[in-house]
Structure formats: structure tokens, C-alpha cells
Amino acid sequence: MSHTDMIDTNSDKWILEGKEFNSRMMIGSALYPSPKVMKEAIEASGSQIVTVSLRRQSGGDKGNPFWDIIKSLGVQVLPNTAGCHTAQEAITTAMMAREVFGTNWVKVEVIGNQYNLQPDPFELVEATKVLIKEGFRVLPYTTDDLVLAQKLVDAGCTTLMPWGSPIGSGRGLMNPYNLKAIRKQFPDLQLIVDAGIGKPSHAIQAMELGYDGILLNSAVALAHDPVQMANAFKHAVTAGRLGYKAGTMQERDMASPSTPTIGTPFWHQA
């Protein structure tokens, strides 16, 4: 195997909800300073999955520049139910999004607290149960709670999207222990860290935990240079994935020399 083959990410295809992707980075379409910057940032990220909000923009509007741009990118659209606070509201929004955007994929958000935008676990599970029965591919935005994760799996989810920290906070991974516990409990599930990723190093950390992908928006859209930041995250996700696959060394309490001393030559003066 050549050096080039070793870093060829095309050999690491990502199968998500029955579809194949080259990139493990998912990106949002909100908050950019202009549609032009949004388009350039999405292209620079290499992302093939883009989240869109029905509340923000209606894809069915004729001559809609936002929707025209999204369609021109040839990406998998992932509508979300952003802004919903009840299961019924999320269900209604998802049904409308399926008609508008022509996809049965949906990121289900049901917000229970306005301060930190934490999901309402009870309403989230209820919405998920109904939407899966209606034929949706549900990717639920959830906290890093192991019991809630199990409830969503029991409802039929094959992908979970636990938060790293609250939406838009940029605080990174608040509780790596919980994220690792979810990864260990569901080794065959597709797990995506969604929300709270603020720096490329945060994305690397999440991927090194064995997570399958990253979803972010604010970290790119609100950067001084969104296009350059999107490119940085593209490489960070790849680096974290490669690090996980390579197998990182175990942490040690004591120092250990990288060059062994036993059996090596030494010199002394007569």
C-alpha cells in the first residue's frame, strides 16, 4: 500500500440511512452573511449532506435563490424541524418538509428549554415513533443521555445525533464520557455529534471517539472567513477519522522514553 493509498478517504465510504457518501461532515445552511458565501463554504467543506429549515425558507417558492443554490450543489438535503416545541408540531413540519424538499430524511428537533435549547426527551421520542411509522428516515437531535438514546433506538432509529454541547455555544464536547458510553453501547449505530462544535479540534476529538460524523453550522457560518473555516473542518474530520482507525496510543500516568536505552551504545572517556 502506497502512502497515497493510506490517506485516500474514498476507501472509507460512509453508509448513512442506506446512502453512500465520501464526506463524514454535514453542514447547515443558516447564518451565512450571504447566499454566495453559503455556497462557497458548503463546497469548501466537501459536505454532501446539508440541513435546511422549512421555517427559514420554502423550497417550493418559484425563483427562490436559496433553494436554487441548494439544488445546484447536488447534495442530500436534510430538512430539520428547528423551532418546534411539541411532538405534533415536529410531525406537522416534517410532513410539510417531505412535500417541499422531496425527501423522507428529517432531522427531528423538539426543543424543551429555551435557555440552552435542550431537546424535550418525551416529545422527541413521541415524534420519532410517529414519523418512523410514516416512512421517514429520522435522525434525532438528542442529548448525550444513554437512556434516551436507548428509547430512540427502540423506536426504530438507526442513526442518533447527540449534542456535544448546546446549539451555537461552541463549547465543544461537554461530556466525552457520556459520548463514549453511547458509542460503546451502540457499536453498530450511526452516531453523529450535532451541536456545540466550535473549533476544528473539537471535530477531531469527536471523530477520535469513534463517532461516524459531525454536523455543524455556526462554527463555519459565523467565522471571520467561513470558506476557510469550512475547509479547516473538512480536514479536521478526516484527521480525526484516520486517527480513530489507526488506533491512538493509550494514555500513561508516567513518562516513557520514545528511544529505549537498553542495548544502545554509550561512550565514556578513558
Looking at residue 29, its amino acid is S
Q: For cell 473538512, name the residue.
A: 234
Note if 107 is an active site residue.
yes
Q: For cell 480513530, name the residue.
A: 244
Q: Find, among 220, 168, 176, 175, the residue nearest to 194 by Cα.
A: 168
Q: Find, among 2, 48, 28, the residue nearest to 219 by Cα.
A: 28
Give the count of beta carbons closer than 10 Å to the beta carbon of residue 201. Answer: 14
Q: For cell 476544528, name the residue.
A: 200
- Alpha carbon distance 146, 162 (integer Å): 10
**Binding residue per annotation — 218?**
yes
The catalytic position among 107, 129, 151, 234 is: 107
**Binding residue per annotation — 112?**
no
- Alpha carbon distance 59, 79 (integer Å): 10
Q: Which residues contact 254 (CB under 8 A, 6 or more apart)?
A: none
Q: Residue 193 forms beta bridges with which residues?
A: 214
**DSSP run (H or E) holding 147:** helix 146-154
SS3 label, residue 78: strand
**Binding residue per annotation — 195?**
yes
Q: Find, among 166, 125, 168, the residue nearest to 143 by Cα.
A: 166
List the binding residues: 168, 195-196, 217-218
List residues forming the annotated binding site for 1-deoxy-D-xylulose 5-phosphate: 168, 195-196, 217-218
Active site residues: 107
